[in-house]
Amino acid sequence: MPAAKRPSKPRRPGRPPAGADLRERLLDAAIACFAERGIGATTLRAIAAAAGVTPALLHYYFNSKNSLVETMLAERIAPFVAVSVAPLLAPLPSPRATLRRFLETHMRNLAAHPWMPRLMVREVLSEGGSLREHMQAQFSAVLSPKMLMLIVAAQRRGEIRADLDPLLIGLSLISLAVFPFAAAPLWGAVTKAIVRGAPDYEAQIDHLQRMAKKSAVSEKPGVNAVIEHTLALFDSALEKPHAKSKH
């Protein structure tokens, strides 16, 4: 007579089905909520609802909001920072070329992680942001000194204009990289309102459409257009000023 099979152990409450890979989806949902509402205003229940799971299932992977934040820092923000600062840690022979490559790399990194600019505005740039100290210690501690040394070196070599404050150049570069992605939704809404409010609305629309058809930029993906535009500003703004014409 065959031996009776042992009954299988009951699954622990909240444990996900076998083979389910929900952890990344839960982390994605948490980051989206943090970027939209702020870390302080986001509850675990709200994250679970955004991910379409029960709070118990979320708790199985992350037993607290602090645990979620620590995981986000280690698994999402740390790799992001590593990609952005890589050009500064492996500089080209030309300081100016290194700065330009950093600007492009950082912008492409931001475009690939659209939650990051919104999270930075809420939790790093805003007073009392939850991530400000962490980002200052990790990101800025590497980025700021390297950028400033490259700016000064480029000025001394005559690669960029030397009449500008290196500190303000650094601030401008970071602003050029982050602001287009952080402000894009607001800027789009404002510009549409301006055009609609113009006295000759139909003529304005017709003009913009004709200009877009003629523009080479309109044929490229939006992200590439923004990055190329920013690099063009970088190139023109840091050119050594031409001798003033005498009139």
HSE, side-chain direction, 13 A CA sphere, residue 185: 6
Q: Where are the alpha helices (DSSP H) in the chain?
A: 23-37, 44-51, 55-61, 65-72, 78-89, 95-112, 115-120, 132-135, 141-156, 166-196, 201-214, 222-237
- Tell the burial category of 20 from Cβ atoms under 10 Å away from its Cβ (0-12, 13-18, 19+): exposed
14 has pLDDT over 50:
no
Nearest C-alpha neighbor of 124 from the set 116, 135, 114:
135
Residue 23 in contact with residue 61, Cβ under 8 Å?
yes
The more confidently predicted of residues 79 and 215 is 79
> Per residue in 145-174, pLDDT tens?
999 999 999 999 999 999 999 999 999 999
* pLDDT at 72 (0 to 100): 95
* pLDDT at 88 (0 to 100): 93
Buried b (16+ CB within 10 A) or exposed e, 42-55: bebebbbebbebee
Q: How far apart are CA 66 and CA 16, in angstroms?
A: 21
* pLDDT at 247 (0 to 100): 41
- Mapping DSSP to helix (H, G, I), strand (E, B) and coil, where does residue 198 land? coil
What is the rounded average pLDDT for all residues in the chain? 81
* pLDDT at 199 (0 to 100): 58
Average pLDDT of span 201-208: 61
Nearest C-alpha neighbor of 29 from the set 13, 16, 42:
42
6 has pLDDT over 90:
no
Provide the percentage of residues in the chain whose pLDDT is more than 90. 53
The more confidently predicted of residues 240 and 75 is 75
Q: Which residues contact 181 (CB under 8 A, 6 or more apart)?
A: 107, 110, 111, 114, 117, 226
216 has pLDDT over 50:
no
10 has pLDDT over 60:
no
> Per residue in 34-84, pLDDT tens?
999 999 999 999 999 999 999 999 999 998 999 999 999 999 999 999 999
HSE, side-chain direction, 13 A CA sphere, residue 159: 16
Least confident among 10-14, 32-36, 90-94, 178-182: 10-14
Residue ranges of domains in the chain, CATH in brackets? 22-63 (1.10.10.60), 77-237 (1.10.357.10)
pTM score, whole prediction: 0.76
Average pLDDT of span 111-117: 92
214 has pLDDT over 60:
no
Average pLDDT of span 121-148: 86
225-234 long-range CB contacts below 8 Å, 24 or more apart? 226/107, 226/111, 226/180, 226/181, 227/104, 227/107, 227/108, 227/111, 230/103, 230/107, 230/176, 230/177, 230/180, 231/100, 231/103, 231/104, 233/176, 234/99, 234/100, 234/103, 234/173, 234/176
* pLDDT at 125 (0 to 100): 82
180 has pLDDT over 90:
no
Q: Which residues contact 100 (CB under 8 A, 6 or more apart)?
A: 231, 234, 235
